[in-house]
Amino acid sequence: QSALTQPASVSGSPGQSITISCTGTSSDIGGYNYVSWYQQHPGKAPKLIIYDVSNRPSGVSNRFSGSKSGNTASLTISGLQAEDEADYYCSSYASSSTAFGGGTKLTVL
């Protein structure tokens, strides 16, 4: 199984947009359209915010969007709000495993 590569941290001011990248290989991100993203606040369970690259579950704000190009997926959060400060993880289907990112800490300045 492989680990996906994410930046350790990103930051932005309220109202701005930020993008978190997630780089894998042709065996995971590049091979399937099954990238998902998770938000985790301290002491809480992870929450699914994007699935199948760019789809949002019911109830997730449309400020969250996802995309993919080749072996790299991206999560964009627009109109940053204080409540968006959290850890974000990417994940990708792989045939005999699950690839998971190391997480990105988002700080809202």
Partner 1 sequence: EVQMVESGGGLVQPGRSLRLSCTASGFTFGDYAMNWFRQAPGKGLEWVGFIRSKTYGGTTEYAASVKGRFTISRDDSKNIAYLQMNSLKTEDTAVYYCPRGRRSFDFWGQGTLVTVSS
Q: Which chain residues interact with partner 1 by CB under 8 A?
A: 1, 32, 34, 36, 38, 40, 45-48, 51-52, 57, 87, 89, 91, 93, 96-103
Instruction: Report DSSP state, residue 69.
Output: E
CB 22 within 8 A of CB 75: yes
CB nearer to partner 1: give 12 or 66. 66
CB nearer to partner 1: give 43 or 69. 43
| Residue 84 CB, nearest approach to partner 1 (Å) | 18
DSSP letter string, 14-53: TT--EEEEEE--TTTGGG-S-EEEEEE-TTS--EEEEBTT
CB 30 within 8 A of CB 77: no
| Site of tokens 């204080």 | 82
CB nearer to partner 1: give 12 or 88. 88
| Residue 7 CB, nearest approach to partner 1 (Å) | 13
| Residue 34 CB, nearest approach to partner 1 (Å) | 4
Number of helices and strands in the chain (H, E): 0, 10
CB nearer to partner 1: give 14 or 21. 21
